[in-house]
Amino acid sequence: MARMAHILEIKLDINKPVEELVEVITAVLSSHPLKEKEILVALDLEVGNALAAIEIKEQKDKSVPVE
């Protein structure tokens, strides 16, 4: 029985995170040309949530007095 899998195996240089992630996102989007906007909106939401969590942590760190 034939089996097909749509798998993108990735090795990336973590010393260049932005450039590497852009390449991965571009590769995924090229595989889903009709869902580009849907994927990017979902990704935007996830990135926004991560940034918000970082900002909340930074605000908490600023409000805690250091002894």
Q: Is 39 exposed, middle or buried (0-12, 13-18, 19+ CB in 10 A)?
A: middle
The pLDDT value recorded for residue 5 is 81
Q: pLDDT at residue 1 above 80?
A: yes
Read off the pLDDT of residues 44-55 as tens digits, 9 standing for 90 and up.
999 999 999 999
Query: Is the model's pTM score more than 0.75?
Result: yes
**pLDDT tens-digit profile of 36-45?**
999 999 999 9
pLDDT at 4: 79
